């Protein structure tokens, strides 16, 4: 038995999957732990400050990347051992990133100062937080580009080891700051930036023998990058803003406590992060390989039924055992039982939508009307929410999210209907 297991483990593909599973699992656990500890360690005002800055960081990193880092892996493909090709794409990506920063940084700066000026933090605090956003652009570049090289070479150990070491270090430093009573939003942001810089430095060090950057990037490399990401630009830009829309709305119309409440409740959605990873790592490749109609239908029913059971279980926990979930986010937020229940219902509907999207995209049920329809109904739900909900309150923003999530589920159900209509007339699932 032992020799059989060793034989299986010696397979490079099996090793890659195992290292990914272990590394991703440990990393996600540490990030979740730090996230929930910060809810307890930071005051509401400090947690609100951190959440606003983190929201802008997430948006700015997407807007200066626009999917280019993912495109590098796809475009290099089987030329992974050609150092000059890899280096050309990375240098081209850096040039695009620098160009985009010229437009993104001023726009984000105006939005950031406009949203935060009413909180009277002081211009020196606002400037420090904004400066952290600018540094993020630089530090994130090393992280995403050099990590993509490690992923292309399937060197998962060298990808996850620095991240796990940095995550442990971050936990220890933040815990020390808490017990010394020096912890605040600025400290957390500095520690996060240091972690990202460390990871980027380690990735660059590990990949120095795999990259050779040219003096001048071939124009064809730039064209291929732009050609690859161009169809995705509207969706990438839309989702970069939409992913933070709740936080931005409550920051603009609400008060500092409401910002902290919405951000704290948003942390509960991270409970599903392991399941979301499972969708991409396990379900996507499995469904993509199925070419038998009856087997596809069987697996479709099994996967969606399993997702519904998980969603119903979580909703049941929130309704009948609310103190369990309130304990997770800490005593400062014990008064948010109703809001927590609405958040869990919204998250569960979003989880079901994600499972359906994973299956549909893996089965190549791609309809040209789907993305425009999704964007349209999402915007319509938000416009509708302006008139029927008080968006200066935590409850109002959560209800807006709930309506948007229900509409998104309806789009996936529509895709399901048309997908099965086509499947009815085809012996295999490829459409």
- Every domain of the chain and the residues it spans: 2-227, 267-423
Q: What is the pLDDT of residues 343-365, one digit of tens each?
A: 999 999 999 999 998 888 878 78
pLDDT at 41 (0 to 100): 95
Predicted confidence band at 19 (pLDDT cuts at 50, 70, 90)? low
Q: What is the pLDDT of residues 265-291, one digit of tens each?
A: 988 888 887 777 667 666 776 777 777
pLDDT at 130 (0 to 100): 92
d(CA 62, CA 243): 11
Q: What's the whole-number mean pLDDT along residues 223-230?
A: 85
pLDDT at 12 (0 to 100): 57
Buried b (16+ CB within 10 A) or exposed e, 196-223: bbbbbebbbebbeebbeeeeebeeebbe
pTM, 2 dp: 0.84
pLDDT at 15 over 80: no
pLDDT at 252 over 60: yes
| Sequential DSSP letters for 163-202 | HHHHHHHHHHHHHHHHHTT---HHHHHHHHHHHHHHHHHH
Are 203 and 142 in contact by the 8 Å Cβ rule? The answer is yes
Task: Provide the sign of the torsion angle of the four alpha carbons 101, 106, 107, 113, taken in this order.
Answer: positive
Residues 6+ apart with CB under 8 A from 83: 210, 211, 212
Integer Rg of the chain from CA: 23
What separation in angstroms does the CA of 415 have from each of 170, 371, 388, 425? 43, 11, 29, 16
Q: What's the whole-number mean pLDDT along residues 55-59?
A: 90
Q: Enumerate the H helices of 64-122 as residue ranges.
A: 68-76, 83-116
Q: What percent of the chain has pLDDT over 70?
A: 92
């Amino acid at each position: 038995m032992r020799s059989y297991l060793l034989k299986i483990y010696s397979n490079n593909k099996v090793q890659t999957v195992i290292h990914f599973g272990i590394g991703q699992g440990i990393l996600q656990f540490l990030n979740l732990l730090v996230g929930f500890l910060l809810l307890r360690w930071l005051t509401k005002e400090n947690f609100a400050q951190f959440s606003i800055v983190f929201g802008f960081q997430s948006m700015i990193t997407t807007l200066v990347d626009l999917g280019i880092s993912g495109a590098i892996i796809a475009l290099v493909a089987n030329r992974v051992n050609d150092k000059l090709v890899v280096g050309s794409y990375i240098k081209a990506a850096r040039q695009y990133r620098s160009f985009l920063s010229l437009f993104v940084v001023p726009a984000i700066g105006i939005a950031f100062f406009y949203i935060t000026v009413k909180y009277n933090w002081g211009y020196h605090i606002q400037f420090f937080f904004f400066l952290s956003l600018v540094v993020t652009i630089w530090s994130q570049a090393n992280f995403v580009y050099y990590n993509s090289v490690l992923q292309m070479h399937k060197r998962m150990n060298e990808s996850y080891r620095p991240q796990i070491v940095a995550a442990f270090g971050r936990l220890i430093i933040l815990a020390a700051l808490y017990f010394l009573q020096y912890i605040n939003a600025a400290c957390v942001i500095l520690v996060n930036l240091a972690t990202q810089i460390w990871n980027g430095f380690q990735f660059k060090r590990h990949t120095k023998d795999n990259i050779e950057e040219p003096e001048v990037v071939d124009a064809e490399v730039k064209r291929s990058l732009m050609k690859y990401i161009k169809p995705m630009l509207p969706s990438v830009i839309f989702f970069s803003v939409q992913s933070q829309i709740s936080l931005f709305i409550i920051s603009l119309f609400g008060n500092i406590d409401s910002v902290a409440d919405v951000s704290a409740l948003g942390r509960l959605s991270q409970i599903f992060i392991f399941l979301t990873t499972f969708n991409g790592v396990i379900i996507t490749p499995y469904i993509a390989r199925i070419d038998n109609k009856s087997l596809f239908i069987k697996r479709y029913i099994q996967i969606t039924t399993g997702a519904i059971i998980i969603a119903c279980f979580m909703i049941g926990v929130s309704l009948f055992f609310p103190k369990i979930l309130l304990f997770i986010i800490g005593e400062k937020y014990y008064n948010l039982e109703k809001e927590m229940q609405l958040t869990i219902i919204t998250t569960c509907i979003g989880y079901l939508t994600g499972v359906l999207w994973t299956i549909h995209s893996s089965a190549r049920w791609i309809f040209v009307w789907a993305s425009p329809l999704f964007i349209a109904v999402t915007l319509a739900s938000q416009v509708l929410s302006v008139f029927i909900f008080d968006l200066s309150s935590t409850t109002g923003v959560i209800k807006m999210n709930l309506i948007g999530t229900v509409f998104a589920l309806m789009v996936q159900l529509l895709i399901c209907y048309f997908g099965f209509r086509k499947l009815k007339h085809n012996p295999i699932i490829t459409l």
